Amino acid sequence: MTTETDHGVGEAVAARIERRWAILSIVIVGLLVGMATFIGIHQATMPQGRVETSDPKTLHLSGEFVESNLGTAVEADGSVTVRAIGQQYSFTPQCIVVPAETPITLRATSADVVHGLLIEGTNINTMLVPGYVADLPIRFKAPGEHVMPCQEFCGIGHQGMWGKVKVVDKAAFAKLAAARRRLTCVD
């Protein structure tokens, strides 16, 4: 049989448990808000893990992005690196040649203002910011041609800023690469 006192005890227990859960849920919400705040402030105030910089003023004169080093290069491990720059209003090289079914690293930067680099039919879509190097992995499944427009308004000649990516068969690329250190498909 339940009595008045039993009811009282039950209510007290229920209230205690409810209070515990209420405190716990407030703590969880507080923890999540704290985490979001910390991550937000941390990202805004700390430099990112791997930011690579370049000097747009000396880009053509020395370092990785001198003209003779632009284009497609085969690395010692068989992977391929493509180096390119964007400037008002073209890409150098204007035509990039790469092999199919090969891991490719695209490294690009800008010599003047912010440009965009988009390779149609792929998920490659990045900004070329003067002073910074964009580094992206790509892999093309099959030979073919892709247009590569500048997708960031960069001035009066923006709509004419187009490049091309020519993906060739692996064997055909190996033949091309045997003859030259840096490859492009600019005629």
CB count, 10 Å around CB of 175?
10
Indicate the residue among 80 and 148 with the shorter CB distance to Cu ion: 148
Quick one: which H or E segment has residue 14?
A: helix 4-45
Q: Of 3-11, 100-108, 110-118, 171-179, which segment contacts Cu ion by CB under 5 A?
A: 110-118
User: DSSP string of 25-55?
Assistant: HHHHHHHHHHHHHHHHHHHHHSPPTT--B--
Nearest distance from C-beta of residue 134 to Cu ion, angstroms: 13
In terms of Cβ atoms closer than 10 Å to its own Cβ (0-12, 13-18, 19+), residue 165 is: buried
Q: Is 164 in the site for Cu ion (CB under 5 A)?
A: no
Site membership for Cu ion, residue 129 (CB under 5 A): no
* 99, amino acid identity: P
Asked if 115 touches Cu ion (CB under 5 A), the answer is yes
Residue placing its CB nearer to Cu ion in the complex, 71 or 116: 116
154 binds Cu ion per the rule CB under 5 A: yes
Biggest distance spanned by C-alpha atoms of the chain: 98
Q: Which DSSP category does 183 fall into?
A: B
Q: Which stretch binds Cu ion (CB under 5 A): 42-50, 60-68, 100-108, 156-164?
A: 156-164
Using CB under 5 A as the binding rule, whether residue 150 contacts Cu ion is answered as: yes
Contacts of 140 (CB under 8 A, 6+ apart): 98, 99, 100, 101, 102, 104, 122, 167
Q: Which lies closer to Cu ion via its Cβ, residue 74 or residue 118?
A: 118
Between 83 and 115, name the residue whose CB sits nearer to Cu ion: 115
Q: Which of 84, 106, 161, 167 binds Cu ion (CB under 5 A)?
A: 161
> What part of residues 12-51 is at the interface with Cu ion (CB under 5 A)?
none
Chain positions contacting Cu ion, by CB under 5 A? 115, 150, 154, 161
